Structure 1
Amino acid sequence: MLRIKNNCTTIGLLKPGMIIRYHDEDLKIIKLLERKLTSKGLICKYKVNGGNGILSAHSGLRVNVLTERHINKDHRTWYM
């Protein structure tokens, strides 16, 4: 049985090479396409392998990271 260690982070802190689980799909982040500040907050758009090819979400949304290669364990997330 394969056991995967899950870590949580926010959409705004994703980096290329990370594999995340978003709505029961495994998506690999390729690159950041756009970060836009709107009246509702920061919106991030990423190009991904899987899904429809683009992940667009509010930057404070939490997702599960399936690989630990690019995770900075000393980084803390602050919410306003």
Structure 2
Amino acid sequence: MKNVFKQNPKLDVVYQTSDKKYFYLENDAANHAQTLENKKVIKLERESKKESEENKTTERAEPVTDGSTQTDAEPVAAKPTKRTEKK
């Protein structure tokens, strides 16, 4: 988690899904999370240098979604491909 801010010095906010993938945009993270069993998305923010010195941490984590799903949405069925079709 700490490396994402070290590798991207201009990045102040990132969104992490339960499979530990990072996204720049909340919507992208939420869309990816819908494909996972745990649909939770966490917002990670870089702390300012002053806050970091006070708290001795480099970022904060804040849940964005609680992992619940929309009940009114229709599931999307994947079309079989040549690899997945039964012969």
TM-score bracket, normalised by the shorter chain, equals: under 0.3
- Structure number with the higher strand fraction is 1
Superposition TM-score, scaled by structure 1 size: 0.24
Superposition TM-score, scaled by structure 2 size: 0.23
Which of 1 and 2 has greater Rg?
2
- Structure number with the higher helix fraction is 2
Q: Which has the higher contact order (CA 8 A, sep 6+)?
A: 1
